[in-house]
Structure 1
Amino acid sequence: MSKSNHFNDENSNHSANPTFDAILEQRLNRRGFLGKTLSGAAVLGGMGLGLVGCSSGELVGGNTLTSVATPSAIPGSTPAAIPTATPSAPLPSAPPNPIVSRLGFGAVAKNTLDKVTIPSGYSYQIIYALGDPLTAATSAYKNDGTDADFDNRAGDHHDGMEWFGLDAAGKPSISAADRGLLAMNHEATTDENKSSFFIHATGGTASLPRPAAEVDKEVAIHGLSVVEVKTTGGKWASVPASAFNRRVTPLSDVEIAGPARGNALLKTKYSTDGTKTRGTINNCGCGKSPWGTYLSGEENWSGYFYRVAADDTNRGDKSVVALKRYGRNAGSASRHGWETGGSDDKYARWNISKIGASIDGIDDYRNEMNGQGYIIEMDPYDKSKVLKKRTALGRFAHESAAFGLPVVGKPLTVYLGDDSRNEYMYKFVSKALWSAADANPSDRIATGDKYLNDGTLYVAKFNADGSGEWIELSLNNPLIKNYATYTFADYADICVNTRLAADAVGATKMDRPEWGGVHPVTGEYYQTLTNNSNRDINAASGSKLVPDSANPRAYADSDGNKAKGNPNGHILRTKEGAAVTSFTWDVYLFGAEADMDKATINLSNLTDDQDFSSPDGLAFSKNTGICWIQTDDGAYTDVTNCMMLAAIPGKVGDGTSKTLSYTKADTSQLNVTTQVGAAPTADTLKRFLVGPKDCEITGLCETPDGKAIFINIQHPGEGTRMADIADPSKYTSQWPSNAGYGAGNRPRSATIVITKDDGGRIGS
Structure 2
Amino acid sequence: MSAYELDYPDHTQSPDHQPGDEPRCNLSANETFHDVLETRLKRRSVLVGGLATAVGALFVGTALNSVARVAGAQAATGGLVGFQPVPVSTADTVVVPKGYKVQVLAPWGTPISGTMPTFGPSRSGADQAHQIGMHHDGMHFFPIDGSSTDGLLVMNHEYVEPRFLHAARYAGQELKSDEVMVTDGKRPDDDVLKEMNAHGVSVVRVKRGADGTWSVVADPHNRRITGLTPMEVTGPVRGTAHVVTKYSPDGTRTRGTLNNCANGYTPWNTYLAAEENWAGYFRNGDQQDQKPNLPREQARYGVKAGGMSRYGWELAAGGAEEYRRFDASQTGNSAAEDYRNEPNCFGWVVEIDPFDPGKAPVKRTHLGRFAHEGVVFAPAVAGKPVVAYSGDDARFEYIYKFVSARPYDPATASGALLDEGTLYVARFNEDGSGDWLALAPGQNGLTPQNGFTGLADILVNTRLAADRAGATKMDRPEWGAVDPRTGAVYFTLTNNSRRTEEQVHPANPRAKNNYGHIVRWTEAKGDHAATSFQWDIFVLGGDEQAGRGPNGQKLTADNILACPDGLWFDAEARLWIQTDIGESAQNKGDMAVMGNNQMLCADPATGEMRRFLTGPIGQEITGITGTPDGRTIFVNVQHPGATTSPKDWAAGKLASHWPEGGSALPRSATLVISREDGGVVGS
TM-score tier after normalising by the smaller chain length: 0.7 to 0.9
Give the aligned partner of residue 189 of structure 1: 160
Q: Which residue type is aligned with residue 563 of structure 2?
A: S
Q: Provide the rounded CA distance (Å) in 2 between the counterparts of 1:526 and 1:599.
A: 16
- The CA deviation at 1:625 is 1.3
Q: Which residue type is aligned with residue 751 of structure 1?
A: T
Q: Which shows bigger deviation, 427-436 or 706-715? A: 427-436
Q: Provide the rounded CA distance (Å) in 2 between the counterparts of 1:20 and 1:452.
A: 28
Q: Is the 8 A contact 1:127 1:236 kept in 2?
A: no
Give the aligned partner of residue 204 of structure 2: 227
Q: Is the 8 A contact 2:524 2:532 kept in 1?
A: yes
Is it true that 1:130 corresponds to 2:108 in the alignment? yes
Q: Is the 8 A contact 1:525 1:575 kept in 2?
A: yes
Local SS of the residue matching 2:129: helix
Per-residue displacement from partner, 1:742-761 (whole Å, max 9, x unpaired)? xx700000011101000000
Give the aligned partner of residue 448 of structure 1: 415
Q: Is the 8 A contact 1:145 1:199 kept in 2?
A: no
Q: Which residue type is aligned with residue 608 of structure 1?
A: A
Per-residue displacement from partner, 1:632-664 (whole Å, max 9, x unpaired)? 0034533410000001114xxxxxxxxxxxxxx
Give the aligned partner of residue 656 of structure 1: none
Is it true that 1:340 corresponds to 2:304 in the alignment? no
- The CA deviation at 1:553 is 4.7
Q: Is the 8 A contact 2:125 2:197 kept in 1?
A: no
Q: Is the 8 A contact 2:245 2:341 kept in 1?
A: yes
Is it true that 1:165 corresponds to 2:143 in the alignment? yes
Give the aligned partner of residue 564 of structure 2: 615
**CA separation of 1:322 and 1:136: change in aligned 2, threshold 3 A:** closer
| Identical positions, percent | 43
Q: Which residue type is aligned with residue 566 of structure 1?
A: N
Give the aligned partner of residue 674 of structure 2: 755
Q: Is the 8 A contact 2:138 2:263 kept in 1?
A: yes
Give the aligned partner of residue 481 of structure 1: 447
Local SS of the residue matching 1:587: strand
State how 1:215-254 maps to structure 2 within 5 Å.
215-254=192-231
Q: Is the 8 A contact 1:518 1:526 kept in 2?
A: yes
Q: Provide the rounded CA distance (Å) in 2 between the counterparts of 1:337 and 1:300.
A: 15
**CA separation of 1:417 and 1:214: change in aligned 2, threshold 3 A:** same
**CA separation of 1:733 and 1:257: change in aligned 2, threshold 3 A:** same
Per-residue displacement from partner, 1:254-288 (whole Å, max 9, x unpaired)? 00010000010000000000001001000001011
* Number of positions where the alignment pairs a residue of Structure 1 with one of Structure 2: 633
Q: Which residue type is aligned with residue 660 of structure 2?
A: S
Per-residue displacement from partner, 1:580-599 (whole Å, max 9, x unpaired)? 210000110001012x3579
Q: TM-score, normalised by structure 2?
A: 0.87
Local SS of the residue matching 2:621: strand
Give the aligned partner of residue 567 of structure 1: 514
Is it true that 1:354 corresponds to 2:330 in the alignment? yes
Q: Provide the rounded CA distance (Å) in 2 between the counterparts of 1:183 and 1:246.
A: 10
- The CA deviation at 1:434 is 1.5
Q: Is the 8 A contact 1:144 1:746 kept in 2?
A: no
State how 1:279-290 maps to structure 2 within 5 Å.
279-290=256-267
Local SS of the residue matching 2:427: strand
Local SS of the residue matching 1:210: coil
Q: Is the 8 A contact 1:568 1:591 kept in 2?
A: yes
State how 1:377-526 maps to structure 2 within 5 Å.
377-438=351-412, 447-449=414-416, 451-477=417-443, 479-481=445-447, 484=450, 487-526=451-490
Q: Which residue type is aligned with residue 440 of structure 2?
A: S
Q: Provide the rounded CA distance (Å) in 2 between the counterparts of 1:99 and 1:383.
A: 45
Q: Is the 8 A contact 1:460 1:468 kept in 2?
A: yes
Give the aligned partner of residue 31 of structure 2: 18
- The CA deviation at 1:197 is 4.7
Local SS of the residue matching 2:196: helix
- The CA deviation at 1:409 is 1.2
- The CA deviation at 1:142 is 2.5
Is it true that 1:642 corresponds to 2:609 in the alignment? no
Is it true that 1:176 corresponds to 2:160 in the alignment? no
Local SS of the residue matching 2:446: helix
**CA separation of 1:597 and 1:163: change in aligned 2, threshold 3 A:** closer
Of Structure 1 and Structure 2, the greater helix share is in 2
State how 1:590-739 maps to structure 2 within 5 Å.
590-594=540-544, 596-597=545-546, 604-622=553-571, 624-634=572-582, 635=585, 637=587, 638-639=592-593, 640-650=595-605, 680=607, 684-721=608-645, 724-725=648-649, 728=652, 730-738=653-661
Q: Provide the rounded CA distance (Å) in 1 between the counterparts of 2:648 and 2:392.
A: 36
Is it true that 1:324 corresponds to 2:299 in the alignment? yes
Q: Which residue type is aligned with residue 222 of structure 1?
A: H
Q: Which residue type is aligned with residue 316 of structure 2?
A: G
Q: Provide the rounded CA distance (Å) in 1 between the counterparts of 2:220 and 2:351.
A: 20
Local SS of the residue matching 1:731: coil
Q: Provide the rounded CA distance (Å) in 1 between the counterparts of 2:119 and 2:77.
A: 41
Q: Provide the rounded CA distance (Å) in 1 between the counterparts of 2:289 and 2:161.
A: 32
Q: Is the 8 A contact 2:541 2:548 kept in 1?
A: no
Q: Is the 8 A contact 1:374 1:396 kept in 2?
A: yes
Q: Provide the rounded CA distance (Å) in 2 between the counterparts of 1:521 and 1:99.
A: 14
Local SS of the residue matching 2:296: helix
State how 1:129-148 maps to structure 2 within 5 Å.
129-135=107-113, 137-143=115-121
Q: Which residue type is aligned with residue 515 of structure 1?
A: W
Q: Which residue type is aligned with residue 758 of structure 1?
A: D
Q: Which residue type is aligned with residue 321 of structure 2?
A: D
Local SS of the residue matching 1:339: helix
Is it true that 1:366 corresponds to 2:344 in the alignment? no
Give the aligned partner of residue 120 of structure 1: 98
- The CA deviation at 1:11 is 1.9
Q: Provide the rounded CA distance (Å) in 2 between the counterparts of 1:199 and 1:242.
A: 31
Q: Is the 8 A contact 1:222 1:281 kept in 2?
A: yes
Local SS of the residue matching 2:106: strand
Q: Is the 8 A contact 2:162 2:195 kept in 1?
A: no
Local SS of the residue matching 1:692: coil
Q: Is the 8 A contact 2:524 2:534 kept in 1?
A: yes
Instruction: Give the aligned CA root-mean-square deviation in angstroms.
Output: 2.8
Q: Which shows bigger deviation, 250-259 or 182-191? A: 182-191
**CA separation of 1:161 and 1:45: change in aligned 2, threshold 3 A:** farther
Q: Provide the rounded CA distance (Å) in 2 between the counterparts of 1:468 and 1:585.
A: 7
Q: Is the 8 A contact 1:28 1:465 kept in 2?
A: no
Local SS of the residue matching 2:71: coil
Per-residue displacement from partner, 1:374-423 (whole Å, max 9, x unpaired)? 11000011111111011000000001110012222111110110000000
Q: Is the 8 A contact 1:187 1:222 kept in 2?
A: yes
**CA separation of 1:36 and 1:502: change in aligned 2, threshold 3 A:** closer
Q: Which residue type is aligned with residue 180 of structure 1?
A: G
**CA separation of 1:30 and 1:163: change in aligned 2, threshold 3 A:** same
Q: Provide the rounded CA distance (Å) in 2 between the counterparts of 1:297 and 1:217.
A: 21
Q: Provide the rounded CA distance (Å) in 2 between the counterparts of 1:457 and 1:161.
A: 24
Give the aligned partner of residue 54 of structure 2: none
Higher relative contact order (CA 8 A, sep 6+): 1
Q: Is the 8 A contact 1:531 1:567 kept in 2?
A: yes
Q: Which residue type is aligned with residue 36 of structure 2?
A: I
Per-residue displacement from partner, 1:347-389 (whole Å, max 9, x unpaired)? 111100111112xx00000000000001100001111111101
**CA separation of 1:604 and 1:255: change in aligned 2, threshold 3 A:** farther
Q: Provide the rounded CA distance (Å) in 2 between the counterparts of 1:144 and 1:604.
A: 52
**CA separation of 1:548 and 1:620: change in aligned 2, threshold 3 A:** farther
Q: Which residue type is aligned with residue 355 of structure 1?
A: T
Q: Which residue type is aligned with residue 82 of structure 2?
A: G
